Amino acid sequence: EVQLVESGGGFVQSGGSLRLSCVASGFTFSNYEMNWIRQAPGRGLEWVSYISTSGSIMYYADSVKGRFTISRDNAKNSLYLQMNSLRADDTAVYYCARGSPFDPWGQGTLVTVSS
Amino acid sequence: DIQMTQSPSSLFASVGDRVTITCRASQSLGSYLNWYQQKPGKAPKLLIYALSTLQSGVPSRFSGSGSGTDFTLTISSLQPEDFATYYCQQSYSTLYTFGQGTKLEIK
């Protein structure tokens, strides 16, 4: 079964840092581009970041550029999101998703940033 | 960035109704348009990709159409399990963007 499982969410103060992880199983992780997508409470979906299969190409939404860094470890079937200088408006459930179109999605991990 | 505008934001309908949700892009997307369904407390699920291709397991009452900048998701006969929020998403640019969502509720 193809599966993505996120972890690393939690409560952090404004200005703090957090690192999210996403572990993949059931498919050849190194063959797929990956993405992070977030959803603030009661709001819609916002794409956050993309990484190529090798990890050499990354893209970011303007809202996180310069603060967030996406990376991957193909040997560990893992995707990461390093989040620095966190702000209250970064509070959201963060999903990892495979490929484009996005399928499947993980179950999400909640990040709460207190101001 | 490509802006995506969905309408309506919310929609009340009954079981058996035919429902259409529209999505407009700020530039032409070709066939790079996808639709997702999200139920409360759950991760979104891919419904339709590349404008009109149903993801495996998606019932045939769902269909996607459109061209250029204007796209539609149609549910031919609403079932109780279809009440959810639907999002369009463009994959023409790798700076991916979603519509704001359409919440489909029971009348």
pLDDT tens for B62-102 read: 999 999 999 999 999 999 999 999 999 999 999 999 999 99
Contact A61 B95 (CB under 8 A): yes
Which of 28-57 (A) contact B at CB < 8 A?
35, 44-47, 50
- Tell which of B96, B97, B98, B100 to mutate to test the A interface (max A CBs under 10 Å): B96
pLDDT tens for B30-64 read: 999 999 999 999 999 999 999 999 999 999 999 99
Model confidence band, residue A62 (pLDDT cutoffs 50, 70, 90): very high
Query: Which residue among B38, B43, B46 places its CB closest to the CB of A101?
Result: B46
pLDDT of the residue at A115: 87
Nearest-by-CA chain B residue for A57: B94
Minimal CA–CA distance to B34: which of B20, B15, B47?
B47
Which residues neighbour B98 within 8 Å (Cβ) at sequence distance 6 or greater? A44, A45, A46, A47, B4, B87, B88, B89
Does B97 lie at the interface with A, CB-CB under 8 angstroms?
Answer: yes
Q: Pairing mode, if any, of strands B19-25 and B70-75?
A: antiparallel
3-state secondary structure of A29: helix
Sign (positive or negative) of CA dihedral B41, B43, B47, B49: positive
